[in-house]
């Protein structure tokens, strides 16, 4: 079973989706670490409730950036983490971690990247931008993480219709349902080592 670290900053609904799919045997993995910059977030509350190891890393606890980044990497290595899954994590990962875990860091984004991605595009802001643009479809993207926000190679996408009557809130609700379905499927593939690389691009079946 792959040892997984979850990074989350808020509600952690995708974290819970991954956890639940592990519990029912769909994903051959084990969550060994839950990392957050927000000690009060629901993701951390859920992790504590389930008896998972947590690690809080933020500017308040570790003001020195170099020390903070080094300690975070050491914590991941000590836990023998093999796969990192970002689940609503609001911070850019340190370059050292991106390098150490190249092609082993996943993130999910509530839009069809490269549209509506990058710094500042997160949560409801994404859906508000989609509605304001007037486009007829949105969706979900799972991608590899690199040194830039929402920039890594795309692993999988799922499209949904943007209905004429949609608001940011109604669109967000439908997109989230797709997220909870797609992300565990991609994590399952990675845990089963079923990623095929062609022309420097990951190919998977979900």
The list of the chain residues with pLDDT below 70 reads none
What local confidence, expressed as pLDDT, does residue 204 receive?
87
Q: Which of 109, 127, 143, 180 is catalytic?
A: 109
The fold of 2-203 is Rossmann fold (3.40.50)
What local confidence, expressed as pLDDT, does residue 50 receive?
98
Handedness of CA 77, 182, 180, 110 (dihedral sign): positive
Active site residue 109: yes
Which residues are paired to 196 by β-bridges?
203
Indicate the burial class of 128 (C-beta count within 10 angstroms; 0-12, 13-18, 19 or more): middle
Rounded to two decimals, what is the model's pTM? 0.95
Best CA proximity match to 14, nearest among 70, 91, 78, 85: 85
The model's pLDDT over 117-172, given as tens digits with 9 standing for 90+, comes to 998 898 999 999 999 999 999 999 999 999 998 999 999 999 999 999 999 999 99
What's the CA gap between 195 and 118, in Å, rounded? 25
What local confidence, expressed as pLDDT, does residue 152 receive?
94
Do residues 103 and 144 lie in contact, with contact meaning Cβ atoms separated by under 8 Å? yes
What local confidence, expressed as pLDDT, does residue 1 receive?
92
Handedness of CA 9, 10, 15, 20 (dihedral sign): positive
| Backbone φ and ψ of 23, nearest 5° | -60, -35
């Amino acid at each position: 079973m792959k040892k997984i670290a979850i990074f989350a900053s808020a509600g952690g609904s995708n974290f819970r989706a991954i956890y639940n799919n592990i519990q029912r045997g769909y994903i051959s993995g084990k969550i060994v670490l839950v990392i957050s910059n927000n000690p009060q977030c629901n993701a951390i509350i859920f992790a504590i409730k389930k008896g998972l190891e947590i690690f809080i890393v933020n500017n308040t606890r570790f003001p020195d950036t170099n020390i903070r980044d080094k300690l975070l990497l050491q914590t991941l290595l000590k836990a023998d983490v093999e796969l990192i899954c970002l689940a609503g994590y609001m911070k850019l990962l340190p370059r050292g971690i991106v390098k150490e875990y190249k092609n082993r860091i996943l993130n999910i984004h509530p839009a069809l990247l490269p549209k509506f991605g990058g710094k500042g595009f997160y949560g409801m802001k994404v859906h508000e931008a989609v509605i304001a643009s007037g486009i007829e479809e949105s969706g979900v993207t799972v991608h590899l993480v690199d040194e830039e926000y929402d920039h890594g190679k795309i692993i999988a996408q799922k499209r949904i219709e943007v209905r004429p009557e949609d608001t940011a809130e109604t669109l967000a609700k439908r997109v989230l349902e797709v997220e909870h379905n797609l992300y565990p499927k991609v994590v399952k593939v990675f845990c089963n080592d079923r990623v095929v690389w062609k022309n420097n691009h990951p190919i998977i079946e979900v």
